[in-house]
Amino acid sequence: MAWGLYGDTTAVVGSPCSESRCGTLAGEFIGEKDLTQSSMEFQPLGGGPPSGGEEGEGPGVVARTPRQIFWAKFKQDKLATMGAVLVLLMILLAISAGLFEKIRDIPYDHQFRAGVGLNEFGSPSPPDATHWFGFDDLGRDLFVRVLYGARTSLKIAIIATGFELAIGVFIGMLAGYRRGWVDTLLSRLTDLILSIPFLLLAISLSVVRGGSEGMVIFLITFFGWPYIARIVRGQTLSLREAQFIEAAHSIGASTRWIMFREILPNLVAPIIVYATLIIPTNIVAESALSFLGVGIQEPQASWGKMIASATQYVTYGAAWWYMFYPGLLLFLTVLGFNLLGDGLRDALDPRTRE
């Protein structure tokens, strides 16, 4: 016994009928209509017809690659775009420092005679039409030295960041993937390094070995890699439980293959974001060490060293440009990298919406 499903609800719904009777009622209800519904009856929510039809129909869904999605999100972030422009500008200025030195024929370590670079009281002379940023405490052109300071800071920060990522990513992946005693040992090593006072060790080593680029890079790298190692370890602990890792295990993939061919590609996005955020931190660290006298030494240019030398004049209201211009470029560089890093983080995060 079947139940009627078509026709007049008052006569059919809920009334028992035979298969022949139900078929007759269904035929009377449908009549001349085709059993196949028209495409208009299957429109998506919102009322728009499907794409690919006649003229006047709404647009359909367009497939985009992850790179296109990233670029679309990044372009919508105006602050990130401004940060990228600032970073590119500072990099170009740092690269062109030697070019400006040759065009203007002013060596960065040339000391101008008294009355040009220094006034009658021995203080730096102010900016003029030839020397745009004025002079420093030794009568040297500040504009060229600020550009060379940008080159020094960016070079040290980028090299140190590269070493930090190489060490931190490897140790973090190894600890997160192997777990057990390996994870415990590497985690305790990370905690031990983070417990060492940064400035105390920096001052001690500089007294023994002297300040230099290599020493600054070593100090920044030594104290920087544990942070990225912790981040990568947490990501690896999550990824190692994923199904594609289990599939790699099932086909007999080696530990090296899984770590560098399966896990590492999935860590690229957080690594890129962390790199753009750690570079400005390293720039500030280099400037701080040079400011304290344990970083870059004369005659090499450094923003921190310039600011430290300018304090003796600015304290008494003299030579404001000596501190202003190095501080301004330091501020713009750090700001640019921070804005760029925030924008990359939002664009690469799959949880964010356009």
Domains in the chain with CATH codes: 1-30 (no CATH), 68-348 (1.10.3720.10)
Q: Is 52 helix (H, G, I), strand (E, B) or coil?
A: coil
Phi, psi of 256, deg, nearest 5: -65, -40
Asked if 140 and 108 touch (Cβ cutoff 8 Å), the reply is yes
Asked if 293 and 211 touch (Cβ cutoff 8 Å), the reply is yes
Q: How far from chain centre, in Å, is Cα 335?
A: 13
pLDDT score recorded for residue 242: 86
Residue whose pair of structure tokens reads 């007049």 in the numeric block:
8
Alpha-carbon span 136 to 319, nearest angstrom: 8
> 40: which DSSP letter?
G
Longest Cα–Cα distance of the chain, Å, equals 118
Residue whose pair of structure tokens reads 């039409």 in the numeric block:
129
- The rounded radius of gyration (Å) of the Cα atoms in the chain is 33
Q: Is 86 helix (H, G, I), strand (E, B) or coil?
A: helix
Which token pair is 149? 């300071």
Q: What is the pTM of this model?
A: 0.77
Angle between the 303-314 and 320-348 helix axes, to the nearest 10 degrees? Answer: 140
Mark the ranges of the chain whose per-residue pLDDT is less than 50. Answer: 1-54, 56, 354
The closest of 105, 125, 129 to 117, measured between CA atoms, is 125
